Structure 1
Amino acid sequence: MSVACMVVVLLAMVSAVDGEDAFVGVNIGTAMSDMPHPTQVVALLKSQHIRHVRLYDSDTAMLLALANTGIQVAISVPNEQLLGIGQSNSTAANWVSQNVVAHYPATNITAICVGSEVLTTLPNTASILVNALKFIQSALIASNLNAHIKVSTPISSSIILDSFPPSQAFFNHSLNPVLVPMLKFLQSTGSYLMLNVYPYYDYMQSNGVIPLDYALFEPLPANKEAVDSNTLLHYTNVFDATVDAAYFAMADLNFTNIPIIVTESGWPSKGDSANEPDATLENANTYNSNLIKHVLNKTGTPKHPGIAVSTYIYELYNEDLKPGPVSEKNWGLFDENGKPIYVLHLIGSGSMLANDTTNQTYCTAREGADEKMLQAALDWACGAGKVDCSPLLQGQPCYEPDSVAAHATYAFDTYYHKMAKAPGTCDFNGVAEITTTNPSHGTCTFPGSGGTNGTFVANASAPSMNSTSSVSSAINSGKDSYSILIIGAMIWSVVFL
């Protein structure tokens, strides 16, 4: 399989949930004929800097493997255990004792998902759902863990009726006897509504009414945006419209201060060629890349701009044992061997979730960065940063294109790899960003293109760039290498001797 380049960046924004950072996490399903050992799963999570996961159970081996990693874990009460817990406070207390108290705080459990889409998949059990939530919460209170662990239940967006325009949305009224006390519980405990959002299914079931680009977060011309005639808010994607529909549906029941977290969203990478033509690698890559960018860009939704909705991608692995159509088995970012199904394409800054096991990342000048700041950063990299900038001299392989941004990219990337890609070494006062797109061109080969890291790690994060250098200026004005060496020697004698 040919693997394209990508960067997925986590996490640097403000969330509506307790002031915590918004995040992109992953769901970990286990319906696989060759499920990796929990230690292998955790190794993959750590290598990809995945800091948030959701489990569909509370598997002891997985919780032990996640211990002391700092990874934030949402565990689940499986639907088949819901009846017992919802009917017995002591059963709920035992469950919390065995699956939470026994592992916390070594395993950083932050949420409990009580069932999954109970209202639509187990309607006969829905009546005891709120009891189950309350009994689990009571057990957490008894263990003094209620301030650390949220309790909620994932619901399907399909229970939202008349979802467009979002301002007219409401929950299926037949579910109100459960929904109203459930929302009261979430409000009183400071928890959040867990919502599963699947634009893929909305698109598939729309019979052509929903454009593919609208489902995939692709840019739309203004005249193609969907407009809510009541609020005049413009919607450019299904995801935002669905989340806002949930906000309006809660408001319809007089709940206006419950934040939303999306517990499942994604796009299948393979489907039946006849019935699922849009379940493709390209569309899955596009959707998840755009979703992650959307969450991390502080975009928010039209109703709540600037308030990002933390989201768990469905899912980490393809699950070959899932019943149903071909697409059901192909939602994963990785196969059972930890090989990426496709490599997301995203550029940004911060911590990184990159489903690129080759770890070939690069540091480039940020698009649109101020040229004076770029020049200052380039000066620092070629001076105090000890980067060999001789390939940027006139007549050398990386002189062209002769621009500050292009030269800065070479210098930034060289420094980034000299520092073994340590956190903070691709920032340069905010004018640099990480990418997996190889910036090498022609005979100009960048350090990271060989797939190896540098070993110069004597200062993991870039220090202040206050020291000055005329090295890059000399490069850009075409002076010879002898002049560069003399200038460099002068700088180092002043700065370090």
Structure 2
Amino acid sequence: MEGGDSRDHNRSSESTTATAPPTETSPTVGNEVLESNDPSLSSQLLPAMQNLQNALLVSLPVKVSTVNTMAVLAASEPPFAGAFHAELLPSLQGIFGFLQKTGSPFMINPYPYFAYRDDPRPETLAFCLFQPNAGRFDANTNINYMNMWDAQLDAVKSALKSAGFADLEFVVAETGWPYKGDPNENGASVDNAKAFNGNLVQHLRSMVGTPLMPGKSVDTYIFALYDEDLKPGPESERSFGLFHPDLSMTYDVGLKKSSSSGSSQPTPSSPSKKPATAWCLPKPGATDEELQANLDYACSQEEVDCTAIQPGGVCFEPNTVRSHAAYAMNQLYQISGRNSWDCDFRQSAILSSDNPSYDTCVYPGS
């Protein structure tokens, strides 16, 4: 199942928001209660939510909800076929009605990491990390999904529609990627965690949305501020923290702000990795097949304008895959945050301080 079954990954540590948080306080009742396989808890969930809502409304403008994993979905691939487990629908229908009546969001925890852990193919990793890939085609909607995040969120949207609550808002209560894991935990590394969280932040800030929810950025909370170092289970369960206890960053995803201006001030983990003025270009050994995939991916992004490399464009000549890919890859790098991981393209790109512009063809620069 797309997104993986994370029934055994209950979380309680703090998260940090990647988009604007909801305007009202949103306390949650329980954590992944419907996935606990305890019918007595499931039957008590809605009454508990109603009681808390009634108690808090006396003094606070609250919107009470409860948090769920992607395991509440029986199907999520392709996204159009998203549907909740039939045995959970009676409980969910009551909860959805309560959320709709109170204006509260449905809360879900999509983790592309678990999808890659269960399907450790290189193409799956690229799909999960927002990196160049061939995409996954949904024949029902004729949409070619370019990343797991959009596919997971649209699967939730489809499931809500199928349940009769198409307009119910939802919030991502948790998502993240571990920077360390046991030897058998595929993909748990600093580079992958940095790529996923960094690219996710840029994707959300772009306000592009998803194919089924265009122009909208779902409120999203990144798990977690700090490691849960006493948590049982595999090493990855204790390795989601963005910060150490001394407030130094485990790695930088562009969320740090300066105290003076409040503007985003990413602190590179290694200043030597990115020249002061840099362009993202193909590596000398990159193949035409790799570069064609990079070209297709970059030009498929809404923010990238590939007009200049079309016939008659100022950068069309020389008419080679390498030249066109260089222009598109660099443009995507420049608008994605100019972090070192934005110029990776599955290790087929490199940052250069040499300006590749020529004649009237101008490459955007840092």
| TM-score interval for Structure 1 and Structure 2 normalised by the shorter chain | 0.5 to 0.7
What corresponds to 1:279 in structure 2? 188
Letter of the structure 1 residue corresponding to residue 93 of structure 2: V
Seen in structure 2, the aligned counterparts of structure 1 residues 351 and 155 have a Cα distance that, compared at 3 Å, is farther
Seen in structure 2, the aligned counterparts of structure 1 residues 204 and 436 have a Cα distance that, compared at 3 Å, is closer
How far apart are residue 219 of structure 1 and its match?
2.7
Q: Which residues of 2 match residues 167-206 of structure 1 at below 5 A? A: 167-206=80-119
Q: Distance in 2 between matches of 1:327 and 1:123?
A: 26
Letter of the structure 1 residue corresponding to residue 166 of structure 2: T
Letter of the structure 2 residue corresponding to residue 141 of structure 1: L
Tell which has more relative contact order, 1 or 2 (C-alpha 8 A, sep 6+).
Answer: 1
What corresponds to 1:33 in structure 2? none
1:133 aligns with 2:49: yes
**8 Å Cα contact 2:256-2:265 kept in structure 1:** no
Q: Distance in 1 between matches of 2:339 and 2:117?
A: 32
How far apart are residue 327 of structure 1 and its match?
0.6
Seen in structure 2, the aligned counterparts of structure 1 residues 193 and 352 have a Cα distance that, compared at 3 Å, is farther
**8 Å Cα contact 2:182-2:236 kept in structure 1:** yes
1:265 aligns with 2:175: yes
- Please tell me the root mean square deviation across aligned C-alpha atoms, in Å: 3.6
TM-score, normalised by the number of residues in structure 1: 0.49
Structure 1 segments of 4 or more deviating over 4 A?
345-348, 350-358, 364-367, 432-437
Q: Secondary structure at the match of 2:101?
A: helix
Of all paired residues, the percent bearing the same amino acid is 35
Q: Secondary structure at the match of 1:211?
A: helix
How far apart are residue 193 of structure 1 and its match?
1.0
Q: Secondary structure at the match of 1:333?
A: coil
Question: Of 153, 161, 167, which residue of structure 1 is paired with 2:66?
Answer: 153
**8 Å Cα contact 1:366-1:433 kept in structure 2:** no
What corresponds to 1:163 in structure 2? 76
Instruction: Name stretches of at least 5 consecutive residues in structure 2 with no aligned partner.
Output: 1-10, 280-334, 341-351, 354-366
Deviations 1:21-74 (Å, cap 9, x if unpaired)? xxxxxx9727xxxxxxxxxxxxxx9xxxx7x59xxxxxxxxxxxxxxxxx96x9
Q: Distance in 1 between matches of 2:171 and 2:198?
A: 18
Question: Of 222, 244, 252, which residue of structure 2 is paired with 1:313?
Answer: 222
Q: Distance in 1 between matches of 2:224 and 2:266?
A: 12
What corresponds to 2:13 in structure 1? 29
Seen in structure 2, the aligned counterparts of structure 1 residues 227 and 156 have a Cα distance that, compared at 3 Å, is same
Q: Distance in 1 between matches of 2:337 and 2:203?
A: 17
1:254 aligns with 2:164: yes
Question: Of 317, 324, 327, which residue of structure 1 is paired with 2:233?
Answer: 324
**Count of aligned residue pairs for this structure pair:** 269
Q: Secondary structure at the match of 1:317?
A: coil
**8 Å Cα contact 1:334-1:355 kept in structure 2:** no
Q: Distance in 1 between matches of 2:119 and 2:264?
A: 32
Letter of the structure 2 residue corresponding to residue 137 of structure 1: Q
TM-score, normalised by the number of residues in structure 2: 0.65
1:237 aligns with 2:150: no
Instruction: Name stretches of at least 5 consecutive residues in structure 1 with no aligned partner.
Output: 1-26, 31-44, 54-70, 75-107, 368-431, 443-497
Q: Distance in 1 between matches of 2:143 and 2:336?
A: 32
How far apart are residue 297 of structure 1 and its match?
0.5
